[in-house]
Chains A and B, each alone.
Chain A
């Protein structure tokens, strides 16, 4: 955190594409206006989202993504397996996955402390878009819980992908496929309700929606009642699944592993 100014500018810049998105959706939602009301508030809805909902949604998704995305985790693990650095963890009395988890937690904490101001700035700028006002305590608590869970899910999912390199040294094509799915099924580009009907089962069956869509939708009150708790339960199940899978992959992998050189 030596380059504090650089960092804050960096986070601010991250929102520039967001500005163009706002203008694009503004233009798109304008076409939904009926002739009588061309001025004033945009009333049209796409997939249950008004223009203002959508802006709020995209902002919230940025927050979730900041929790759930793990830049360089898969490739980092894969590299350390490939070049033998993983031995470092084998001879030390620490667990590699645990160590990396702690590292990520620390990193995210620092990131959030630093990124708070830029985030607050953009949320303040678009405060009018949160038309439902602030959510209730219950919803907010669930939101926070699912944010933390999305962090854990992102971490264990990417760890599992990285650990696969015990078997296949090159996992970059796997990460590419992951990114492809992430693009369409996590909802970080658009609300998942926009997907054509045939994709509904894929969204429900795969864990991607919990990486971006779910927490944001909870905050906006799009998911209520039993579906809310059911969603959190499924998210917990996914976290557990990938946690156990990562343990399994780690133990199997280490047995398979033979260090060369060094």
Chain B
């Protein structure tokens, strides 16, 4: 275990050194990703400015301030995924295609660990801090609201962090499974696209899908098969408590249970997929 932590820290240091060697580029990347996030925020600001009662779904409680906590949570999770997992997943596909995975297989360390963490894209972490600021800001606004203010305890903030952790586990599992498919597909240049389209579904409160046959179908698929819907929803609900007025939702605890179950299951499944992929791996060329 100690070795793993040491190796992880070395990876982290090396990536940071590499990222910071091109300082202007690093700053530009930070600015770009922050601008994207701000555009996203402005887009919803424009929507919420269209009327006083606008919410994401009737009776769901996702009005402006609550929803921006949700959005900030999405940024936090996205930033973690893009910093730690995204570059590695792409690199993994590349290793398979070129046959350089051989070298990783030979090393005396768990292969999944080795391919999961060597590169970190520290510039993406800018949005993490932006997300934290946005969440804190809107949480503060909500606790000072005149009507029905939000009351937050230390325990809730702690749970929020834990739930985000569980959500990140799910995202990691989905991503590593996707990357592992390149063993069979040969190349996986569309990995980023598929990832983008899949994760597009987790960026909104899950209530929006709970209507119509297609909606419920999507909801079921993204809650139980590719469980990305619980990833941002559960932590954001814990903090923003959109239904605090009506005394909460009786499904709330079930969602938390679902989050942890899915985190565990998806981690195990992704481990299996990874192993399976390695057993079908045949080195390229040479």
Q: Pick the contact of A32: B54, B194, B207, B208 (CB < 8 A).
A: B54
- Chain A residues 81 to 101 lying within 8 A of chain B, measured CB to CB, are none
Stretch from B90-98, B166-174, B197-205 forming part of the interface with A: B197-205
Residues of A near B50 (CB, < 8 A) are 46-47, 194
A194 to B50, CA, bound (A): 7
| Interface flag for B147 (CB, 8 Å) | no
Interface residues of A (CB under 8 A from B): 10, 13, 16-17, 19-20, 23-24, 26-28, 30-33, 38, 46-47, 173, 176, 180, 183-184, 189-190, 194-196
Query: A17 near B57 (CB under 8 angstroms)?
Result: no
Tell me whether A31 and B57 are in contact in the complex, defined as CB-CB below 8 angstroms, given that A194-B46, A194-B50, A196-B46 are known contacts.
yes
Query: B197 near A16 (CB under 8 angstroms)?
Result: yes
Q: What per-residue 1/0 map shows which CB atoms of B29-59 lie under 8 Å from chain A?
A: 0001001000100110011011101111110
Query: B39 near A31 (CB under 8 angstroms)?
Result: no
Residues of A near B53 (CB, < 8 A) are 31-32
Residues of A near B49 (CB, < 8 A) are 194, 196
A38 to B56, CA, bound (A): 15
A183 to B32, CA, bound (A): 14
Query: A30 near B193 (CB under 8 angstroms)?
Result: no
| Interface flag for B244 (CB, 8 Å) | no
A16 to B207, CA, bound (A): 18
Query: A31 near B54 (CB under 8 angstroms)?
Result: yes
A24 to B200, CA, bound (A): 12
- Minimal Cβ-Cβ distance residue in A for B50: A46
Ordered by A's residue number, 11 sampled pairs between the chains whose C-beta atoms are within 8 Å are A13-B193, A20-B200, A20-B201, A24-B56, A24-B208, A27-B60, A28-B54, A180-B35, A183-B39, A189-B43, A194-B46
Closest chain B CB from A173 CB (angstroms): 8
Closest chain B CB from A160 CB (angstroms): 23
Closest chain A CB from B216 CB (angstroms): 11
Closest chain B CB from A186 CB (angstroms): 13
A47 to B55, CA, bound (A): 16
- Minimal Cβ-Cβ distance residue in A for B62: A27
Residues of A near B46 (CB, < 8 A) are 190, 194-196
Interface majority SS on B: helix, strand, loop or mixed? helix
Closest chain B CB from A232 CB (angstroms): 27
Query: B215 near A176 (CB under 8 angstroms)?
Result: no
| Interface flag for B8 (CB, 8 Å) | no
A10 to B194, CA, bound (A): 10
Query: A38 near B58 (CB under 8 angstroms)?
Result: yes
Query: A17 near B47 (CB under 8 angstroms)?
Result: no
| Interface flag for B218 (CB, 8 Å) | yes
Q: Pick the contact of A46: B51, B211, B218 (CB < 8 A).
A: B51
Tell me whether A28 and B200 are in contact in the complex, defined as CB-CB below 8 angstroms, given that A183-B39, A194-B50 are known contacts.
no
Query: A31 near B55 (CB under 8 angstroms)?
Result: yes
Tell me whether A190 and B58 are in contact in the complex, defined as CB-CB below 8 angstroms, given that A20-B204, A46-B50, A180-B35 are known contacts.
no
Closest chain A CB from B205 CB (angstroms): 8
A154 to B46, CA, bound (A): 26
Residues of A near B194 (CB, < 8 A) are 13
Q: Pick the contact of A26: B60, B203, B208 (CB < 8 A).
A: B208
A47 to B197, CA, bound (A): 29
A85 to B219, CA, bound (A): 51
A13 to B197, CA, bound (A): 7
| Interface flag for B192 (CB, 8 Å) | no
| Interface flag for B281 (CB, 8 Å) | no
A95 to B194, CA, bound (A): 39
Residues of B near A27 (CB, < 8 A) are 55-58, 60, 205, 207-208, 211
Closest chain A CB from B161 CB (angstroms): 27
- Chain B residues 169 to 217 lying within 8 A of chain A, measured CB to CB, are 190, 193-194, 197, 200-201, 203-205, 207-209, 211, 214-215
Closest chain A CB from B201 CB (angstroms): 6
A28 to B58, CA, bound (A): 7
- Minimal Cβ-Cβ distance residue in A for B211: A26
A26 to B55, CA, bound (A): 11
Closest chain A CB from B178 CB (angstroms): 14
A173 to B215, CA, bound (A): 40
